[in-house]
Amino acid sequence: MSEAGPLIELREASVRYRDVTALDGVSLRVGRGQRIALIGSNGSGKTTLLRTLHGLQRCDAGERIVHADVPQAMVFQRPFLLRLSAWSNMLIALWLAGVPARERIDRARDALRRVGLLEQRTRPARALSGGQQQRLALARAWSVLPQLLFLDEPTASLDPAAKQEVEDLVMEFAAEGMTVVMSTHNLGQAKRLATDVVYLEGGRLIAALPTERFFTERLPDAAARFLKGETTWQ
């Protein structure tokens, strides 16, 4: 993994839900400027790893170290939008982030314009299409000017056109210097977007390599099997 200025680090982190071990002794360092793709089958621990890195989940063992306390944001597979207008959703996000009142309107407008939803701002957020809702979620995240962005399979529920729009936006954010950690099912997406790829299986970090090396070098068997598409759903 590239040694950029570290932001968040997990050391031997484990998370247990009742008798299920969701994360098992994972060590990972997220460096500034990286774009990390987390891959693995369902139940491999991608979501738990993201939540633990972001601070939504506490470790039962090991530790989470915040090297640099930068603004963070997270986008989920299905965005939770309040039953209000898109505009109101934006304002509430800015209010929660502690943005002073006089700045909120400008930043909301800028963010919506950025993702191409300014025209839809008065519509009920839930009346937007799937792709539009995810773009709104991205606008909401971007408006708080995060330096670290987590995304949990952001395009998994979207049609190809919407998928492309979201990917493009994420790439734009990254190009502006945002550090991105994104989980995905889609190996092509990982190849296109990521600087580094991390493979998880059964809560354990099996492999973590820069992208080119990940797809060319000889990998641990489990990871290799996954790439070949032979891994079972367990």
Please tell me the distance from the alpha carbon of residue 164 to that of residue 158, in angstroms, as a whole number.
Answer: 9
Q: How far is the CB of 141 from another protein (least distance, A)?
A: 9
Q: How far is the CB of 99 from another protein (least distance, A)?
A: 10
Contact 138, 155 (CB under 8 A): no
Helices and strands: H and E segment counts in the chain = 8, 9
Q: Dig out the tokens for 159 from the structure.
A: 């049609």
Looking at the Cβ atoms of 148 and 219, the one nearer to another protein is 148
Ranges of H-type helices in the chain: 46-54, 86-96, 101-114, 130-143, 160-175, 187-193, 211-216, 221-227
Q: How far is the CB of 83 from another protein (least distance, A)?
A: 5
Restricting to residues 84-103, which ones interact with another protein according to CB under 8 A?
84, 92-93, 96-98
Restricting to residues 48-87, which ones interact with another protein according to CB under 8 A?
51, 54, 56, 72-74, 76, 79-80, 82-84
Restricting to residues 128-157, which ones interact with another protein according to CB under 8 A?
140, 144
Please tell me the distance from the alpha carbon of residue 27 to that of residue 11, in angstroms, as a whole number.
Answer: 4
Among 142, 149, 68, residue whose Cα is nearest residue 99: 142
Residue 232, classified by CB atoms within 10 Å of its CB into exposed (0-12), middle (13-18) or buried (19+), is exposed
Q: How far is the CB of 103 from another protein (least distance, A)?
A: 16
Looking at the Cβ atoms of 66 and 127, the one nearer to another protein is 127
The one among 2, 17, 105, 126 contacting another protein by CB under 8 A: 126
Looking at the Cβ atoms of 71 and 220, the one nearer to another protein is 71
Looking at the Cβ atoms of 82 and 105, the one nearer to another protein is 82
Contacts with another protein by CB under 8 A lie at 51, 54, 56, 72-74, 76, 79-80, 82-84, 92-93, 96-98, 124, 126-127, 140, 144
